[in-house]
Chain A
Amino acid sequence: MLQIETSHEEKYALIVLKGEVDASNSVELDEAINGMVEDQNTHMLIDATDLNYISSAGLGVFMSYLEDFQEKSIRFVIFGLNDKVLHVFHILGLDQLIKLKPDKVAALQELYEA
């Protein structure tokens, strides 16, 4: 079960993920990120505080946008990953490719640092 909430704050776009991302619903995550990219957001935050599980299908969605983010100079930060989910990013070394921060304050700092 995955719930996705998207919103546009003054300076950034926010996607809140709650539940579990697997092969049955990763397309929903894909659509949410794609929508944010198409809306020409340049600063994007993913709140993963209540994300309890992610399989490769979900990780693959993030990976498939990295090139777009670079080409379009989109700053993208995921925050609030619990230890187990964070561990999955570590196993594949994705923490080296995607900015991961413990909380929203740190994520916003990362988003707006020079």
Chain B
Amino acid sequence: MKHRLTLYCDKSQLADLRNFLSGVLKDKPISDTTKFEVILAVEEVCANLIIHSHGCNSKDKITLQVQEIDDKLIFEIKDSGKSFNLLEYQAPLLGDVIREKRKGGLGIMLVKKIMDKIEFESNGKDNTCRLIKIMDSK
């Protein structure tokens, strides 16, 4: 199976993304909590791209493809904005988040805790982020 969604870089698209993912994950052999987590993690990456890489420019778009290969769910997110490699991103410490009263930084922490594997590729123009969840992992 392969599912695809194109998102315009507008924050209002996040609700559509959640609806799409709920449908795709509906019959997957994972718990409701895991489905909820996975939807959250994919949304965090897409929200990051929409806001930080594309400055909420609704003329830009990102594409999401969901594939099931063996026991893995693979979420492939492609965009052509400023490349953001979340593998290299150092998530802040919670204490710093509180002290600096910063409202960001928690999303990537969530993605790293929820997903089993994260891959990132960029050729300088097109970026691909792959989030992998093993279906029996939790």
Q: Which positions in A face B, CB cutoff 8 Å? A: 1, 20, 22-24, 26, 30, 53, 55-57, 59-61, 63-68, 83-84, 87-88, 91-94, 97
Contacts and interface: CB of A to CB of B under 8 A. Distances in A.
Interface of B: 11-12, 14-15, 18, 32-33, 36-37, 40, 43-44, 47, 50-51, 94, 97-99, 101-107, 109-110, 113-114
Contact of A23 (B11, B33, B98, B114): B11
Contact of B99 (A67, A84, A92): A67
Nearest to B107: A56
A93 B91 CA distance: 14
A55 B33 contact: no
B105 A60 contact: yes
B114 A91 contact: yes
Chain A CB within 10 A, most for which of B18, B94, B106, B107: B106
A24 B11 contact: yes
23 contacts: A1-B15, A22-B14, A23-B14, A24-B12, A53-B40, A55-B43, A55-B47, A56-B44, A56-B104, A56-B107, A56-B110, A60-B102, A61-B103, A63-B94, A63-B102, A63-B103, A64-B102, A64-B103, A65-B101, A84-B36, A87-B33, A92-B94, A97-B98
A68 B40 CA distance: 28
Majority secondary structure, B binding face: helix
Chain B CB within 10 A, most for which of A22, A56, A65: A56
A12 to B, nearest CB: 23
B14 A24 contact: yes
A88 B110 contact: yes
A88 B40 contact: yes
Given A55-B107, A67-B101, A97-B94, A87 B18 contact: no
B94 A93 contact: yes
B7 to A, nearest CB: 12
Contacts of A22: 11, 14-15, 18, 43, 47
Q: Which 3 A-B pairs have the closest CB atoms?
A: A56-B107, A24-B11, A60-B103
A88 B110 CA distance: 8
B98 A87 contact: no
Given A56-B44, A57-B103, A83-B33, 5 more contacts: A24-B12, A55-B107, A60-B104, A87-B37, A92-B113
A93 to B, nearest CB: 7
